[in-house]
Amino acid sequence: MELEHRYIDRHGPGWQAVRDGVADEAGWPLYLARYAALLVEGG
């Protein structure tokens, strides 16, 4: 699976904070790891 978060600058002023938040360990890496764990459990 490949995740591409595009056009994040459309969030307006402060978009860099949004980018940093989704890249943080509590952002996409966390949610993708949880998703992968569900797939492993269900498979």
Within 13 Å, how many C-alpha atoms sit on residue 25's CB side?
0
Query: Model's pTM, two decimal places?
Result: 0.60
- Contact between 18 and 11 (Cβ < 8 Å): yes
pLDDT average, residue stretch 24-32: 90
What are the start-end ranges of the H helices in 1-43? 15-23, 28-42
Please check the confidence at residue 35 and state whether its pLDDT lies above 70: yes
- How many whole angstroms separate alpha carbon 40 and alpha carbon 11? 34
- Residue 3 is predicted with a pLDDT of 79
- How many whole angstroms separate alpha carbon 7 and alpha carbon 11? 8
Please check the confidence at residue 37 and state whether its pLDDT lies above 80: yes
Question: Which single residue is written with the structure tokens 């492993």?
Answer: 40
pLDDT average, residue stretch 15-35: 91
